[in-house]
Amino acid sequence: MTQNLLPHHIAIIMDGNGRWAKKRLLPRHAGHKAGVNTVRLLVKLCAEKGIEVLTLFAFSSENWRRPTQEVNLLMELFMSALQREINNLHKNNVSLQIIGARDAFSDKLQQLIAQAEKLTEHNTGLTLVIAANYGGHWDIVEAAKRLASHVEQGILPCHEINEKLFEAQLCLANLPEPDLFIRTGGEKRVSNFLLWQLAYTELFFTDTLWPDFDKVLLDKALESFATRQRRFGRTGEQVSENA
Ligand code: IPE
Ligand code: IPE
Ligand code: MG
């Protein structure tokens, strides 16, 4: 596979932790713990391959609807993984960004997130984006609120709002758009992940549960991506003529 055909940005819905645990007669939490190991592996593989950005959906705006005990355990796991991994990420030149409504997290977790982002902000290797308490609807509403406040303050005439200006207010605005979306766990839906940003992303679904995702499957997703003709509205002939 040539370097050109590699996606710049991969976005993943890491689904299936609960079912992975259930199959083994373990509590759901054991699946989430096993899922963290897959995150570590994926970060390493993507960094080695020269992928620029990896965005991982860790906790959705809707995941608060889960039993309190599971939510608490997920928060603890997020915090301990951050504490444990951050120095290693920094050593490997990874820059970490967290997207989502972080004001819902405990003060301690918010502090940890801020420290981790600050520590790694100048790193030039893989950008690892963790979506936590993130929702595509939330992202779009926040962008709309910011633009509305610019209009209210008189610094932006309403008629000047366009797609480019809107996009600049969204999460990931400073990064290349996701080229490849992967969802593990068998469901064929987007579950309020990056709604705006996925407009022209290539989609790859696998039944494999997240803790079982590995190098072989990542390569399969990358091979599939490499065979796709991205037309962005044009005809196939137009695209091959310009290639
Ligand atoms: C994904 O795995 C992790 C989170 C949503 C936090 P799930 O916990 O959704 O696993 P399943 O879908 O129940 O198997
Ligand atoms: C999506 O998975 C969110 C994350 C992986 C963090 P869910 O398991 O919450 O999605 P639904 O509820 O099955 O759509
Ligand atoms: Mg799920």
Report pLDDT digits (tens) over 181-196: 999 999 999 999 999 9
Element (H, E) at 72: helix 68-91
pLDDT at 4: 58
Residue 167 lies in a domain: no
Separate counts of helices (H) and strands (E) for the chain: 8, 6
Is 93 an active-site residue? no
Name the residue of 12, 15, 66, 138 whose CB sits within 8 Å of the most ligand 2 atoms, as the mutation to test its pocket: 15
In a domain, 148, yes or no: no
Does 63 participate in catalysis according to the annotation? yes
Alpha-carbon gap, residue 57 to 59, rounded angstroms:
6
Q: pTM of whole model > 0.85?
A: yes
Q: What distance in Å separates the CA atoms of residue 56 and residue 117, rounded to the nearest whole number?
A: 16
Domain span at residue 99 reads 3-135+177-242
Q: Is 136 in the pocket of ligand 1 (CB under 6 A)?
A: no
Q: Is the CB of 218 under 6 A from ligand 1?
A: no
Ligand 1 near 59 CB (within 6 A): yes
Q: What are the CA-CA distances from residue 168 to residues 130, 152, 153, 159 (Å)? A: 19, 18, 18, 16
Q: CATH number, domain at 29?
A: 3.40.1180.10
Other beta carbons within 10 Å of 125: 16
Task: Locate 34 and state its tokens.
Answer: 């096993």
Which pLDDT tens digit goes with each residue over 85-115? 999 999 999 999 999 999 999 999 999 999 9
63 in a domain, yes or no? yes
How many domains is the chain partitioned into structurally?
Answer: 1
Residue 169, in any domain of the structure: no
Let me know if residue 211 belongs to a domain: yes
CA atoms within 13 A on the CB side of 80: 10
CA of 186 to the centre of ligand 1 (A): 11
Amino acid identity of residue 181, one-letter, is F
Q: Is residue 155 part of a domain?
A: no
* CA-closest residue to ligand 2 atom 2: 15
Ligand 2 lined by 186 (C-beta under 6 Å): no
Residues 158, 42: Cα–Cα separation, whole Å:
43
Say how many Å lie between the CA of residue 185 and the centre of ligand 2: 10
